Amino acid sequence: MADDTETSADSAPRSRRPRRGAGGVTLHEVARIAKVAPITASRALNTPDRVAPATLARVREAIERTGYVPNTLAGSLASSRSRLVAGVVPTVVGPVFQELIQSLDDSFAAAGYQFMLGQSGYNASREDALIEAIIGRRPDGIVLTGAVHSETGRRRLQASRIPVCETWDLTDTPIDTLVGFSHEKVGTAVAAHLVATGRRRLAVLTGDDHRALRRKAGFVEAVRAAGLAWDSGDGVPTGIVGAPTTAGSGRTGLIDLLARYPDIDAVFCSSDLLAVGVLIEARARGLAVPEALGVVGFGDLALSRDFDPPLTTVRIDGTTIGRLAARFIVDRVEGRPVAERVIDIGFSVIRRASS
Amino acid sequence: MADDTETSADSAPRSRRPRRGAGGVTLHEVARIAKVAPITASRALNTPDRVAPATLARVREAIERTGYVPNTLAGSLASSRSRLVAGVVPTVVGPVFQELIQSLDDSFAAAGYQFMLGQSGYNASREDALIEAIIGRRPDGIVLTGAVHSETGRRRLQASRIPVCETWDLTDTPIDTLVGFSHEKVGTAVAAHLVATGRRRLAVLTGDDHRALRRKAGFVEAVRAAGLAWDSGDGVPTGIVGAPTTAGSGRTGLIDLLARYPDIDAVFCSSDLLAVGVLIEARARGLAVPEALGVVGFGDLALSRDFDPPLTTVRIDGTTIGRLAARFIVDRVEGRPVAERVIDIGFSVIRRASS
DNA sequence: ATGAAAGCGCTAACAG
DNA sequence: CTGTTAGCGCTTTCAT
């Protein structure tokens, strides 16, 4: 029994090459203790029903005794399957992607995959580095949030032949599969809502990121189409704030907009946090919402429903995006055919008291 | 040139074993095209200054031509170094850990490590599974947020010999290294602040998670020590809400507390979101803050500073926690001695208009 | 139901 | 500066 726990004390040909490795317990150790071949120990772990009960018990006891933890690096290298899916988000800071992240985590866990997250940090070169590092680890799938900007990154992903799902956006040229919605149409729909409720002097307060600006573009286009352009610039007074958007930038953004355009009767904000800032500032200066000013956000935070007045906003169903993205990946990995490769999940305008 | 791009068309002993693997370009391919030994190609990638410029150029051209992406799985297996650090958080949902996560990401990136995140989901068995999966991939380090609850998880981490840093909490028995603060002392400090500013009828509104309840315990103890216990229960009227805490649960929590104890003159909330809900509800029912009710939160959201009135809260320096945790891990990995293994980072009470 | 042999793709060790 | 050799720890293929 004593020599069982020693590490290959018997026939080590120590003559030339010293041993390497991290020195942990290996499957060979376990197999030796259980008096089976390594492959049998492997089967006991991966396909226990193809191993005789008595053998299984011996292997399990050996695992227990040694505290063996499989080296999945080695396993993945040998089998080309990692049971790991990597996700890329611009940032986990801010509430924007949280519902989606949660859903991806849950969906992949349910399918027996591990989900791990990396941040690209709104920075193209760091995004490229992250993508290369992820591909290098050969995950079974990759979920991208927001389209990949660099051509390098797209080419590498395509060449890797790893199943990819892009989310949160619609593009003409998906790398592989895609679950998203049209940011332009969000802008259009919000403009339609405000116009329909009698607003005539519309403004925009937006973060300066890609997708927010596309929502703004859709908004502006709809306003012009309705014949309500009233600013000398592109027709709609606009305040732009840097990322990340906060309630603070919402407050200062509104102050600034009102200074330039005192007649504004509605503001479309690119995030709920920004809109909450507008609500706080409006109340602080005695501007009645919704009577004197209509306010619409984007994202449908829990806070938006709980605010006073509750905030009209646009809801994106991150849970469904995550579920569908996971299904795409898992189907691909397990060799099932994927019928349609692009899904437009849409969005909904949630009307509350702020507009 | 044509046969360069074919895959080992020359001497393949196809007699018995068919080829396996994912079929991507390997370093051997690259080496063959560059007419060097594989190890030289490896050096061109990892230690380019130990390779002659001309050789380096040939290898680089071969990499370019083939679109080769290193298989870091194989590299890590061979070298026992992964340049990967894994993080575990209960959840990325909610603002609580965001500053810490950001800081970890930045700090590890600066040191040349990749940081990836997994969610344990406030669930002991899922936490165990996540920890086992992480250890199996042999990262160079593991950062844990909040202490690990299960004995199994702690034992596995300890046995793995992977550098570990626990954060966000102080325990008597760290697995390896630790950067945190005392939740009890937070409660004590907030009670002291409220008592010093003349509050006499103190209450608590708290989420039901582990650490929040420890803050509450510190608060209650301090209130009793000050001779201000006034509730028949443990001395301080308490409202408990489920996780995650939201502004909505803050609103209903205050309603409920006031129904039971109309005399309350201050509330300590276990999160800023909860406190913001209290602020919203107080205003909605015409209860003046801070005159009639003092409110203190925890976490120092950006929103808390931007609210009207600005919220008194407790600030945790997540950036510093992340930086120190990264330093612990990197020092360990690179074999430098770690002087102290436990750091108490403390906290600060930020006094604003709400109290 | 179990095992032997042969790699997965890469790098550490030791030459030259 | 470059190459040869021998693995890292696991699983695949083929055989019994």
Residues of A in contact with B115 (CB under 8 A): 118
CA of B255 to C1' of D8 (A): 62
Stretch A224-246: mean pLDDT, rounded? 93
Cis peptide bond prior to A90, omega within 30° of 0: no
pLDDT band at A15, cuts 50/70/90?
very low
Give B174-195 pLDDT, tens digit per residue: 999 999 999 999 999 999 999 9
Give B83-117 pLDDT, tens digit per residue: 999 999 988 888 889 999 999 999 999 999 999 99
Name residues 160-219 of chain A within 8 A of B (Cβ).
160-161
pLDDT at B18: 54
CATH 3.40.50.2300 assigned to domain B13-22+82-181+318-346? The reply is yes
Which residues have CB under 8 Å from B238's CB, separation 6+?
A: B203, B204, B205, B206, B216, B231
Residue-level length of chain B: 355
CB burial string B189-226: b at 16+ within 10 A, e below: bbbbbbbeeebebbbbbbbebebbbbbbbbbbbbbeee
Nearest CA in chain B to A118: B116
pLDDT band at A23, cuts 50/70/90?
confident
Cβ separation B136–A71 shorter than 8 A? yes
Single-letter amino acid code for the residue at A159: A
Q: What is the DSSP letter of B329?
A: H
pLDDT band at B203, cuts 50/70/90?
very high
CA of A47 to C1' of C2 (A): 13
pLDDT band at B21, cuts 50/70/90?
low
Q: Which nucleotides of D are covered by protein (CB under 7 A)?
A: 1-14
Cβ separation B67–A126 shorter than 8 A? no
Which pair of tokens denotes residue A226? 């309705």
Q: Of A45, A46, A77, A79, which to mutate for an interface test with B (greatest number of B Cβ within 10 Å)?
A: A77
Which residues have CB under 8 Å from A193's CB, separation 6+?
A: A296, A312, A349, A351, A355
Residue in B135, B346, B137, B136 with CA at minimum distance from that of residue B148: B135
pLDDT band at B137, cuts 50/70/90?
very high
Cβ separation A69–B251 shorter than 8 A? no
- Euclidean distance between the first and final Cα of chain B, in Å? 77
Same fold, A13-22+82-181+318-346 and A183-315: yes
Which protein residue lies nearest to nucleotide C8, measured between its Cα and the C1' atom?
A78
Name the residues in B86-105 having a C-beta closer than 7 Å to nucleic acid strand D.
none
pLDDT at B232: 80
pLDDT band at A7, cuts 50/70/90?
very low
Domain edges within chain A: 13-22+82-181+318-346, 27-58, 183-315
pLDDT at A331: 95
Stretch B313-335: mean pLDDT, rounded? 96
> How does the average pLDDT of chain B come out, rounded?
92
pLDDT at A18: 56
In this predicted structure, the answer to whether residue A11 has a pLDDT above a threshold of 90 is no
In this predicted structure, the answer to whether residue A2 has a pLDDT above a threshold of 60 is no
Q: What is the DSSP letter of B170?
A: -
pLDDT at B12: 35
Least confident of A145-149, A252-256, B63-67: A145-149
% of chain B at pLDDT higher than 90: 83
How far apart are alpha carbons B62 and B83 in whole angstroms? Answer: 25
Cβ separation A303–B115 shorter than 8 A? no
Nearest to A135 among B69, B74, B132 (CB): B69
Name residues 13-32 of chain B within 8 A of A (Cβ).
20-24
pLDDT band at B20, cuts 50/70/90?
low
User: Which H or E element spans position B204?
Assistant: strand B202-207
Stretch B133-157: mean pLDDT, rounded? 91
In this predicted structure, the answer to whether residue B225 has a pLDDT above a threshold of 50 is yes
Domain made up of A183-315: CATH architecture: 3-Layer(aba) Sandwich (3.40)
Give B293-315 pLDDT, tens digit per residue: 999 999 999 999 999 999 999 99
pLDDT at B92: 86
How far apart are alpha carbons B60 and A338 in whole angstroms? Answer: 37
